[in-house]
Amino acid sequence: MSQLASHSSEYTVVEGEPPEIEGRNLITGAHLWASATVFFFVGFVFAYFYLRSLNNGGMWHPSTSRRRSPSARSSPPASSGVQVPRGWRCAISAPAADRSGGRRPRSALALLVAAIGLQLAEWATQDFGPTQGGYASVYIGWTAMLFAFVVGTAFWLETVLATAIRYRALAVGEAPPPGHASGDPGRPGHDVADPLSLLVPQLIAVSFYTAFLAAIAVVTWIILYLV
């Protein structure tokens, strides 16, 4: 057992894995993560309709939280829910030979950052807090959870773009230095035969997940802003 954990252990068994396998794993992982994400928001959907139906003491939506309630149709979540998927459809169609990141994925990242800024602006301008009625509690909790997922997804895309930009000078088919783009520059070889070939599967994975997240944002806007 100690030999397995020693620094002198050989890693040739796990190096040079065909990139097609890792690419499929990335896309499958994105689908599984999307399925798991649903469970983070089901509770808010239940809380919304359950607390609304009870309306104990008329405190579901008291007058103190009506002035800045999300009833305006020009609200930030609505605009981000409509615009973000466009960027991800662009990212998913990025050419396989493009290792520079490309304008389309960068535009998608800009849209995510804009959605984050719009949500921060919405919170800064509303005049009610999570303790002012059932609706306010659900609204703050729901949008905060969605905000956290958007920030995490933006970081995911940023890491993919950063890797592409870092190695943009390499010719197509040329591998980076040993250990680079594999998570450990000190290793003598690559975990995957051509690590940079995984950029496109990563873009496909993050594109799918963010389009899925944008769909959740649209459902969020419909329930919180219109229902």
Along the 227 residues of the chain, how does pLDDT read in single tens digits?
444 444 555 555 555 667 788 889 999 999 999 999 999 999 999 999 999 999 888 888 876 555 444 444 334 434 444 444 444 444 434 433 344 455 667 777 888 888 888 889 888 888 888 888 899 999 999 999 999 999 999 999 898 888 888 777 776 667 777 667 666 666 666 666 677 778 888 888 988 898 899 899 989 989 988 88
3-class DSSP string for 186-200? CCCCCCECCHHHHHH
Pairwise CA distance, residues 83 & 78, whole Å: 9
Q: What is the predicted pLDDT for the residue at 192? A: 66
Which CA distances in Å does 53 have to 18, 40, 47, 102?
55, 22, 10, 49
Burial of 50 (0-12, 13-18, 19+ CB in 10 A): exposed
Q: What is the predicted pLDDT for the residue at 126? A: 84
Q: What fold characterizes domain 15-168+175-226?
A: Four Helix Bundle (Hemerythrin (Met), subunit A) (1.20.120)
Q: What is the predicted pLDDT for the residue at 85? A: 41
Helix ranges, the chain (H)? 2-5, 19-54, 76-92, 103-125, 134-166, 199-221
For the whole model, what pTM was predicted? 0.75
DSSP 19-34: HHHHHHHHHHHHHHHH
Paired tokens of 159: 């890491």
Q: What is the CA radius of gyration of the chain?
A: 22
Pairwise CA distance, residues 95 & 203, whole Å: 11
Q: What is the predicted pLDDT for the residue at 23? A: 86
Pairwise CA distance, residues 175 & 197, whole Å: 9
Q: What is the predicted pLDDT for the residue at 86? A: 44
DSSP H or E run through 75: none
Q: What is the predicted pLDDT for the residue at 197? A: 79
